[in-house]
Structure 1
Amino acid sequence: MSIAESGEFGLIGRIVSRLDAGSATLLGPGDDAAVVRAADGRVVASTDVLVEGRHFRRDWCGPTDVGHRAAAANLADIAAMGATPTALLVALCVPVDLDPSWAEGLADGLTREAARCGASVVGGDISASPTLTIAVTALGDLGGLDPVRRDGARPGDILALAGRIGYAAAGYTVLSRGFRTPKILVEAYRRPELRYEAGPEAARRGATSMIDVSDGLVQDLGHLAAASAVGIDIRSGAFEVPDQMRDAAQALGTDPYQWVLAGGDDHPLAATFPAGTRLPEGWREIGSVHDGSGVTVDRKPWTGPLGWDHFR
């Protein structure tokens, strides 16, 4: 059966039956709009879109994988503000010949990833489209904390990272060359592993700025440096490159640090903290903030790839 045979409302029913309500959901799917608790009185919101062939390929990722990826890309943005994710809204544009079971698998991935941080899918929309497209809006609660913006870094701050980096980019390269191993790299591309609690933890510990590293560490830190009008230096020795990544890089004829410094899709959080701050668990120091502008690596200009750009 295709979606054309199932029909719009039949597909909606199949998807909604797979969704679970989170603690912040007062009214979920089924009405004209959802109602989500905002105990703080402020709502953090972010949106992102995934287009087949541009952000994912169905021959590389199953529908559940795509659901995890779509949810993680948005939930990480909420965490990067120091907030706790509460809800997701999903707009799905699908070819009419798509098997409804694919959409069900997508719903499973979205639901499971959201549940990792206590959030839930509370609504959305569906339309026919020649290109499979998934647009996700995430909502979050600051819990009484001030949002951690990009423009607060100051000279003398330390730069820290929470989460792994380079794994998903290495997995992308492996898949693009027609391979399916090493498994740890391929699975990292298919399903990011995030610590959503790291964002609020950093906010409570006094982080001066923070960003979700989705497009590449050097490139994304460039946004933070520009917003804060400072220079940022990354210390390459702060990164442990696993054997599987080194072996894959050697086999593919590339430098593993290009994955670490310019690769995206792992969605770790990068933040700056005042000097002397005791970093929260799971955060590690990877550099420093200084007077100046731009981003350097080991005090030298980075001459490798910059990272992901939709129009480059």
Structure 2
Amino acid sequence: MELWIPITVAAAFCQNLRTAMQKHLKGQLGTTGATFVRFGYGLPFAFLYALVLHFVFGFPVPSLNATMLIAGALGGLAQILGTFLLVYLFSFRNFAVGTAYSKTEPIQAALFGFLVLGEHISLAVAICILIGIIGVVMISLARVPLTVSAVRSSLAGRPALIGLASAAFFGASAVAYRTASLSLEGTGVPMQAACALVFATLFQTIVMVSWMSLRDPDQLKASLKAWRAAVWVGASGVAGSIGWFTAMTLQNVAYVRALAQIELVFTFLVSWLVFKEVISRSEIFGCLMIVAAVVGIILLG
């Protein structure tokens, strides 16, 4: 099994954990505050990871270059916007539809990867990606009333558009991060990923703190007061980001983001095993489609 596969699965698990905690914090902090804690509280952990790689494992620190700085900044900004829109979806009663659209990220990442990096994916993997996305949509629409008006508003309503925009920003950020990390070649994949992550997280923290200081100082203060919970969001977020950056340094972005759809399977396992929630047939079938797509990507990628 190629190394990027278990790394991606681990990153998806960490992201699932971080999203759950971030959704809980949104009730306390609002959209901006819940977006900020992912980056602001993750920064110390990102620095610590890079320091351990250098001083404990002996990876050399790479020299910065224009490609890394520009791509890292663009990726950081796109991820802020994607995260903000995704957290904002929680404000809608039918946010599940928007979340389903946000999972079209692998398709959009494949498009950005082709346009920016000239990366191609095979027809077989493209079919697997499509199967996985259909599975996600089935799960997200499983509890939407099947009336003409409800389906129309769900598929073309505001949450759907926000979800699509969120996916576009996440897809663009993933390609930008791969570009930034690959530009640091010669220092080892872990350090390439770590340095790109540190720069992106530092940039994101500066942008968020500056914005919140000027436009929403109350949310910044609330974010600092909620440090006991927020620090876990930051830790789990960086753990996931370490996996994403490393996997995307090793493999095509579209493959990594498609395999990451397994995150939704983790969500349903927790709902079923821990919270004893009832899962519908369409949700089970959607999970099976995602699993089939993941297996296909692993075997064919």
TM-score over 0.5 for the pair: no
TM-score (norm 2): 0.26
Higher helix share: 2
Question: Which structure's relative contact order is higher, taking Cα pairs within 8 Å and 6+ residues apart?
Answer: 2
For the pair shown, the structure with the greater C-alpha radius of gyration is 1
Higher strand share: 1
TM-score (norm 1): 0.25
